[in-house]
Structure 1
């Protein structure tokens, strides 16, 4: 059992690392190949969507189509595809285009904070002391990332900061809008069709065939890295790992994604990070880890109480 858990941890971490590397492939395409976020997101959504649907058909057979049989679920899937999937993908890669993979991924990882605010408003309650501390830590981390500690000096462009924070909001929407559907139909159905629908919308708006792209070997490998490694491989590894270690541990291990993006963009892409930025990274990622751990413990405690009530 212990060996199985260790294997699950390694598989889950591998999935998170693939997501982190995906953003770095995107950064390479923006800097070295002149690709735009609009073009890359369109290509990723279309081909990754087709890939995930194909994998779903192999694993789930005809159950893949059940989501279209319910009118309310069809509507929810469409809303998720536009407000969740499309906006989440676009703001994330646009943030990379205007900054770098490490910074964009860290800013997007603030999405649990957005979810916390929504939950507090929905439940009409004040945040707990721990949650207030997490909010302050995240705000301070974001401040250090964007100003290097000098309020009169913006180290990030206003557009980069706006897109990074927008990606956090959109990632929160992604999670909030997809939760019920994923429990009912599974990830391959929701993410696969969500990507494909979003990709079709982007294709109409962007018209990717009109872009002049230099299709050399490096471009092909980088696009495959975004589409295959950052989608099919990442999802497959992460979901397999989570099935072995549980969602609570999986959510904590998922924090390897921004760490990977920082390390890869620093070592392989030549991104330069100010020491103060690294402090900001630690504050933001620490906040995400604490919130994930705290919410995960709450869920486990509730499950334990339910089991005890059933026993009684």
Structure 2
């Protein structure tokens, strides 16, 4: 193994680990938010507070990470704004708008088709033809996702589907911007800026009544115990926003948008397992089979992309 091969493998391993941390962190938001919903919180209130706390916590660290180089912020102001509006605010708002017209399962299936959208975008826009194995991985992952989300008897709504497609576009933008390694922005700074823009945008939607906001101070029930509402919100902000976005950006820069997007599907599996552990929602056998298919699809995509990268490196070395 050459030095370059060792560096590439180490970078990939670190990226996979960061992507798993990001997916698990994001997935924790479902069970925690579900516990707050049961006490009277609206989804809009939960997501607004979650993103605002994440922004407030990350902003000082994002400023320090710049090391006084505010020029990089000015050069990337449009990208930061796009990240906050699409990757943060639009993804959240469009999903909640979708589930007002259709069931959660189909809405999530449409949103989580983002990895396939990323593959198509990179192919058509940048000429990055995916490896043959990637197509097989897409089929496996989407079939598994459909089983995990249990679409039995699901109703189709054109309006809901349109909103879910908006969430998919936002999620795709999230993965594509995360993978931009040429911006000069530290992951902490991009995450802090994006969450701040997202919090402002969601706050504006709440102010005009498009994002219903209702809160409660009743304790939440998690794992059979009552937990103070502010503790749940703190974890939502620190972990499912702060940690999730920073590690997601760091993973994207190491893995590229395609592999990072498919690794993001692990969020669905982790959410099912966490709902089992924290809320007592036991997954069905069909969901477990679906989870195995999603994992198989992610592995196939990762291996296919790794093989493509090795071939490209060999061709570059021999040129």
Calculate the TM-score normalised by the size of structure 2.
Answer: 0.71
Could you list the runs of 5+ residues in structure 2 that have no partner in the other structure? 1-5, 220-227
1:175-196 deviation digits (Å, cap 9, x = unpaired): 2245437742121222211111
CA distance in 2, matches of 1:238, 1:291: 18
Moved more, 290-299 or 7-16: 7-16
Task: Give the C-alpha shift of residue 225 in structure 1.
Answer: 1.4
1:52 counterpart (47, 52, 58): 58
1:269-308 deviation digits (Å, cap 9, x = unpaired): 13343322332333234323322332244335434554x3
Kept in 1, the 8 Å contact 2:54–2:238? The answer is: yes
In the other structure, the counterpart of 1:20 is: 27
- Root-mean-square deviation (CA, aligned residues, Å) is 4.2
CA distance in 1, matches of 2:77, 2:242: 23
In the other structure, the counterpart of 1:214 is: 216
Task: Give the C-alpha shift of residue 48 in structure 1.
Answer: 0.9
Task: Give the C-alpha shift of residue 200 in structure 1.
Answer: 0.8
CA distance in 2, matches of 1:257, 1:173: 17
Kept in 2, the 8 Å contact 1:14–1:237? The answer is: yes
In the other structure, the counterpart of 1:261 is: 271
Task: Give the C-alpha shift of residue 199 in structure 1.
Answer: 1.0
Aligned pairs for 1:1-312 (under 5 A) are: 13-30=20-37, 32-63=38-69, 65-70=70-75, 73-91=76-94, 109-122=112-125, 129-145=132-148, 153-154=153-154, 167-180=167-180, 183-207=183-207, 211-217=213-219, 218-234=228-244, 247=255, 251=260, 256-303=266-313, 305-306=315-316, 308=317
Task: Give the C-alpha shift of residue 261 in structure 1.
Answer: 1.5
Number of corresponding residues: 294
* 1:184 match: secondary structure: coil
Could you list the runs of 5+ residues in structure 1 that have no partner in the other structure? none
TM-aligned CA distance change 1:170 to 1:130, over 3 Å: same
* 1:204 match: secondary structure: helix
* 1:268 match: secondary structure: helix
CA distance in 2, matches of 1:215, 1:170: 31
1:137-166 deviation digits (Å, cap 9, x = unpaired): 244334435665x6xx22x77588876665
Task: Give the C-alpha shift of residue 172 in structure 1.
Answer: 1.2
Kept in 2, the 8 Å contact 1:182–1:190? The answer is: no
CA distance in 1, matches of 2:165, 2:94: 9
Task: Give the C-alpha shift of residue 198 in structure 1.
Answer: 1.6
TM-aligned CA distance change 1:253 to 1:171, over 3 Å: closer
Moved more, 188-197 or 212-221: 212-221
* 2:215 match: secondary structure: coil
* 2:67 match: secondary structure: helix
CA distance in 2, matches of 1:277, 1:162: 26
Task: Give the C-alpha shift of residue 229 in structure 1.
Answer: 1.8
Kept in 2, the 8 Å contact 1:104–1:164? The answer is: yes
Moved more, 192-201 or 215-224: 215-224
